[in-house]
Amino acid sequence: MKLFFKLCLFGLLLNLPNFSYSQKGELKEVGLFLGVANYLGELGGSSKIGRPFINDLELGMTRPSIGGFYRYNLNSYIGFRANLFWAVVTGNDKLAYPRAVMADEWYRWYRNLSFKASIFEFSAQVELNFMKYEPRRKRYRFAPYIFLGIGGFQYTPKAKYIDPETESKRWVDLRSLGTEGQGTVEYPDRQKYKPAAMCIPMGFGVKYAINRYWNLGFEIGHRITTTDYLDDVSKTYPGETIFANNYDEETAKLVYFLSRRSQEIDPAGRYDNVTDANMQRGDPHDFDHYMLAGALVVIFNITGGKVITPKF
């Protein structure tokens, strides 16, 4: 992270002389984003626990992402962009396969939690080109860049529930249930988390103007968020009694099952103490992150108020 901010500062200082320079005819671009998404949080990840940043990324959990963007090029080095993205992120503790009982990764595997969440993000960012970018001039059609911005996103973590009697499957909204005792009398400090949070997009990419009509690009973006509940996991296990005291019998059974799924792996309860009430369920000290990567395709340009689109 420190390296990225140093690169942003370097790019900013590099481009200070260009703030007052503007291209002939303002260049604005509207395009589509087609890519993939992944997440960094408590669930799943690599087989060893606590590995930093992308070392804990599980490529098998990569899911689709699409979106649209509007880019305003202030000059040949600086651009502003507004984004609207939709993505799916998911995680599963079964991927943290243990090598031995009570090893670090064993605890995560034994927890046996999983989730899926749809994300709708709106964000704005500043792009700093490391090379002059002027799509209408062959010499300056290619430029690598870094970006930094701010945004907000809406998310709804869900888990798959299999009814033990009918064996029917359905996706259940975890936030409304409060799987860590949110909203109960016993945990007044745990309120149900909000369905939206802030994010800080940052990353790098490249863009290339094939001709005056078509611009292509590719970028990888990381999102630091302000929530630790993207995966519905953060603090400790509340225990079965908490749910029995606050819900009707049917709902209490459902919430308890989704809160503590180690019973699916260990029905005999040999290691029940690992997931007892007040035992660690997540890590509240680190917020969840997610990543987007993919291609950016400019579908039309606007120069000097004139829309330029390909003629087929």
Q: Are strands 289-303 and 27-40 parallel, antiparallel or unpaired?
A: antiparallel
Span 259-295, pLDDT tens digits: 999 999 999 999 989 999 999 999 898 899 999 999 9
Please tell me the least confidently modeled range out of 38-42, 55-59, 131-135: 55-59
Average pLDDT score, the chain: 86
Supply the pLDDT for residue 49: 56
pLDDT above 70 (res 46): no
* Tens of pLDDT, residues 2-27: 544 444 444 444 444 444 444 444 68
Range with the largest mean pLDDT of 50-64, 160-174, 185-199: 185-199
Backbone angles phi, psi at 13, to 5 degrees: -65, -35
Helices (H), 113-246: 174-177, 240-246
What is the per-residue pLDDT across 210-266, written as a single tens digit (0 to 9) for each? 877 788 999 999 999 999 999 999 999 999 999 999 999 999 999 999 999 999 999
For 52-56, 63-67, 231-235, 253-257, which range has the lowest pLDDT when averaged over its residues?
52-56
Q: In the predicted model, is pLDDT for residue 106 greater than 70?
A: yes
How distant, in Å, are the alpha carbons of 35, 156, 166 from that of 161? 29, 16, 11
- Token reading at 272: 């029940």
